[in-house]
Amino acid sequence: MLEGNLAEFPFPSLVGALMSAGRTGRLLVRPPHLEGEVYVQGGQVVHARVQAGEKVLEGEEALDLLAGLRRAPFRFEPETLPPHTTLLGGLAVPARLAEAQAAWQALSLPADWGYVLRLPSKEGAAELTPEALRVLAQVEGKRIAEVLVAPGVLRLARILHTLLQMGVLEAVPVVEVPPEHLLVLPIYGPGHGIAYVDEALYAAWARAIRHGFRLRVTPPGTTMEVRPRPNIPGRLGLLEEDLKRLRLRRGDKVEAVPEV
Amino acid sequence: MDILTLNEYLNRIVYGFPMKLVFLLVGAYLVIFQIRWFSAPFRMMRVSFSETFGALRERAYGFGGQITPFQATMVALSATVGTGHLLGMLAAVLLGGPGAVFWMWVGYFFGTGSKFAEATLAVHYRRRYADGSVSGGPMYYLSRGLPRLRFLGYLFAFFAAVAAFGIGNLSQAGAVGGALAPLGAPPALVGLGLALLVGVVLGGGIVRVARFAQVVVPLKLLLFLVAVLPLLVLYGGNLPEALALVFRAAFTPEAALGGAAGYSLFAALNAGLGRGIFANEAGLGSAAIAHAQAQVDHPVRQGFWGVTEMFVSFLVTSLTALTFIASGLWRQGGSAAEAAQALFQAHPLGGVILALTVAVFALGTMVSWGFYGEEAAAFLFGEGVRWPYRLTFAVLAFVGPLGGLEAFLAISDTLNGLMAIPNLLGLLLLGGVVGRLVYGFFRGEPWVPPR
């Protein structure tokens, strides 16, 4: 059984290899929050399908979407036959894949399509086309994968790219880090709005989130910039000014949750 | 010159008035130029309270190490608050008159600088081992902080390791035996009990020593309050007068006391500074060995705990002195033991409470000094010496109440005083490091341990 990751073996090359080897079977691609399958019969791509939740794409649109995946584990199951055909095979498939690949290369969407799209917290003005505005109205709070599984994949991807570039939309990872119960520790120094956590805890959060994050401190339910500091396990270092502002004092127990 | 004559000569030097001035000057240098208490006194006071009394409710939470800053301070206090706070204090008033108390307070004030610097440097230069344990104290900050003068660290360790057997053990065990003898406790039995207790506690390493100290220090303070409060109530009416006498007799004892018992300014200074320096061990370097064990994110935090240790010691000595002066018994003269007996005759529990207080004070001192000596010996001879040292310490704890070994006691007393010489020199030379650490702490900078 052939298996690997698209990060090492890009999707168009993989499909091309299966076609030139004249293989029959099913290629399963499983990025987070998405399921993709491509059926090859005697070296001809005859069916492609992508599903995210209840939304399904089939045929060329599915191929367009799969061509945009930059990393995802894949597995080829030989001798599995397609339930039905949605593609005609032949040279149209590699041509379509090459076209899609070129289109995706011009875009800079996050590699992880599990990221959630949201409006930025900063206010600002921007001029948008009616189509971009319509997309913007529909995507907030949804994962990229979920948004892209819709007719007109490449067009949608271009609009998302534009919105992200303009800063009208931002893509952030969904953070599911359990809250930490920490004791407040005063840090004596100038400045404010910074919370310090132990280096090891910060590193663990950074590994889990892989994105810039802030810290929500409850009580009083405020969000602060977070920085690592050595030798303070179990503590949340707060500057004197913040202690006054938040009405906290040494030894108070607080709940700290990283937020993207 | 035989060894005892030499010892007597050295003893006069290390406990003499010029040496006391050196203690005072080093403390003043640290307080004024390095720690700079006066640069922002109210902020310093606020931070000091926040870091110590404000942190009491989190006393069970360390920073991921073996013992908490609170426990480390308890170990240090267990050694510091000893019989010198009771009998030693009475002796100082008898020798120097009420004015001695003022000079003792001066000694305490500048001693905060030395204690703060010792605790800070002890954490800064301590050694951390793979099993999570740490070792520190003057021998480490002298040898690591002053590499060209590393012999000072070895000198200090030698003095401390031997002094712990005498002044930290034999003399304390003798005090326990002496205190319990009037209650009918046979010295051999007291010695056996002490040897077992000390052996078991020291055998558990710093964690058990800290747990012991965490119990014994509050017990000491409780017993002290039970001993002193009834007397304070009894002589409460005389307290304002006693306090006024302290200030009046500080500068002109002859005029204030009418030439009573030949009290002079020098006698008040000498006796007062002696108490203000040796009662709290600031400058001797012993307590730094305990403070080094605290798991803190910044050495300066432990420095503030050092000041708290001084504050508790200050309260105990001051209350003892004021009660004694208010009672008027100091005018009768005599020895400290006789004065203590006379003072506690008026107590509802009589001499029993005095005996118990002295015994518990001495016991706590013994255990902490056992740990100090063990750390010093391990610095000199390596980890393998710990158990032999503990066993020797336990054997001497048995011998203590039986008496004898006076010559060894006299020598160890001198060695105890000699500990101050390398330590004070180190504090002076490493004062700049303390200053930089304090500056960094108040700039919010994290601590970077030396390599």
B260 pLDDT higher than 60: no
A248 touches chain B (CB under 8 A): no
pLDDT band of B156, cuts 50, 70, 90: very high
Alpha-carbon distance B435 to B415, whole Å? 30
Chain A residue numbers touching B297 (CB-CB < 8 A) = 185, 229-232, 235
pLDDT tens for residues A225-240?
Answer: 999 999 888 899 999 9
pLDDT score of A35 more than 80:
yes
**pLDDT at residue B161 in the model:** 95
Residue A259 bridge partners (DSSP): A214
Inter-chain touch A183–B446, beta carbons under 8 Å: no
Domains located in chain B, CATH noted: 3-53+68-441 (1.20.1740)
Confidence of residue B226 (pLDDT cuts 50, 70, 90): very high
Residue from the list B54, B64, B445 with its beta carbon closest to the beta carbon of A250: B54
Q: What is the pLDDT of residue B252?
A: 79
In the predicted model, is pLDDT for residue B395 greater than 90? yes
Please list every residue in chain A whose beta carbon sits closer than 8 Å to the beta carbon of residue B443: 189-190
**Third-level CATH fold of A180-259:** Barwin-like endoglucanases (2.40.40)
Structure ipTM over 0.85, yes or no: no
A200 has a chain B CB within 8 A of its CB:
no
Closest residue in A to B445 (Cα–Cα)? A189
Packing angle of the helix pair B205-234, B299-327 (nearest 10 deg)? 30
Q: Among A231, A232, A238, A253, pick the best mutation site for testing chain B contact (most B Cβ within 10 A).
A: A231
Residue numbers in B near A189 (CB within 8 A): 442-445
Predicted pLDDT of residue B262: 64
pLDDT at A174: 79
Cβ-contact A197, A187 below 8 angstroms: no
Q: Could you read off the pLDDT of A48-70 as tens digits, one per residue?
A: 999 988 889 898 888 889 888 88
- Distance CA(B451)–CA(B438), nearest Å, equals 19
Rama region for B405: left / alpha / beta (φ>0; ψ in -120 to 50; rest): left
Residues A29-38, mean pLDDT to the nearest whole number: 90
The pLDDT assigned to A53 comes to 84
**Model confidence at A209: pLDDT above 70:** yes
Whole-number pLDDT of residue B445: 93
pLDDT > 90: percent of chain B = 56
Q: State how far the Cα of B217 lies from the Cα of B223, in Å rounded to an integer.
A: 10
Residue of B nearest to A229 (CA): B446
**To probe the interface with A, which of B46, B53, B58 has the most A CB atoms within 10 Å?**
B58
Query: What residue segments make up the domains of chain A, in order of their start?
Result: 2-105, 116-172, 180-259
Query: Does B63 contact A189 at a Cβ distance shorter than 8 Å?
Result: no
Q: Min CA distance, B71 vs chain A (Å)?
A: 16
Q: How far is A200 from chain B (nearest CA, A)?
A: 12
Least confident of A249-258, B48-57, B107-116, B308-317: B48-57
What does the pLDDT read at residue A86? 86
Is residue B144 within 8 A of residue B450, CB to CB? The reply is yes
pLDDT at A96: 87
A249 three-state secondary structure: coil
Q: Which chain B residue has its CA at the smallest distance from A192's CA?
A: B444
Average pLDDT on B169-178 reads: 89
Question: Measured between beta carbons, which residues in chain A are less than 8 angstroms from residue B296?
Answer: 231
- Tell me how far the alpha carbon of residue B388 is from its chain's centroid: 26
pLDDT at B258: 63
Contacts of B58 in chain A (CB under 8 A): 183, 250-251
- Number of A/B CB contacts below 8 angstroms equals 51
Split at pLDDT 50, 70, 90, the class of B62 is low
What's the mean pLDDT in A115-134? Answer: 82
Chain A nearest-CA distance from B64, in A, is: 6
Residue B334 falls in which region: left (phi positive, over 0), alpha (psi -120 to 50) or beta = left
Mean pLDDT along residues A157-185: 87
- Which residue, among A146, A122, A124, A125, has the nearest Cα to A135 in the 3D structure? A146
Average pLDDT over residues B120-139: 92
In which band, very low, low, confident or very high, does the pLDDT at A95 lie, cut at 50, 70 and 90? confident
- Among A187, A190, A234, select the one facing B61 at the smallest CB separation: A234
pLDDT, residue B442, reads: 92
Convert the pLDDT of each residue in B343-387 to its tens digit. 888 888 877 888 888 889 889 999 999 999 999 999 999 999 999
Task: Please tell me which of the candidates A190, A191, A251 has its beta carbon nearest to residue B57.
Answer: A251
Residue B64 scores a pLDDT above 60: no
Residue B256 has pLDDT above 70, yes or no: no
A250–B50: do the CB atoms touch at under 8 Å? yes
Q: What is the SS3 assignment for A10? A: coil
Q: Does position B193 have pLDDT exceeding 70, yes or no?
A: yes
Q: What average pLDDT does range A139-154 have in this prediction?
A: 87
Q: Given a cut of 60, is residue B261 above it in pLDDT?
A: no
Could you read off the pLDDT of B396-416 as tens digits, one per residue? 999 888 887 788 888 988 998
Interchain pair A232, B63: CB under 8 A: yes
Q: Is the pLDDT of residue A121 over 80?
A: no
Q: Give me the residue from A188, A232, A251 closest to B297, CB to CB.
A: A232
Chain centre distance of CA B16: 18
What pLDDT is stored for residue B218 in this prediction? 93
| Among candidates B54, B296, B444 on the partner chain, residue whose Cβ is nearest the Cβ of A249 | B54
> Which of B298, B442, B445 best probes binding to A when mutated, by most A CB atoms within 10 angstroms?
B298
**Residue A81: which pLDDT band, with cuts at 50, 70 and 90?**
confident
Q: Which pLDDT belongs to residue B117? A: 96
Residue predicted with more confidence, B320 or A208: B320
Rounded to 5°, angle at Cα B216 from B215 and B221: 110
CB–CB contact B58 A250 (8 Å): yes
Check residue B63 and give its pLDDT. 66
pLDDT in the model for residue B249: 87
What average pLDDT does chain B have?
Answer: 89
Question: Which DSSP state fits A247?
Answer: T
Residues in chain A within 8 Å Cβ distance of B441: 188
Q: What angle do CA A233, A236, A238 make, to 5 degrees?
A: 140
B11 conformational bin, left if phi > 0, alpha if psi -120 to 50, beta if neither: alpha
* Mean local confidence (pLDDT), B151-157: 96
User: Could you tell me if B112 and B276 are in contact, meaning their C-beta atoms sit under 8 angstroms apart?
Assistant: no
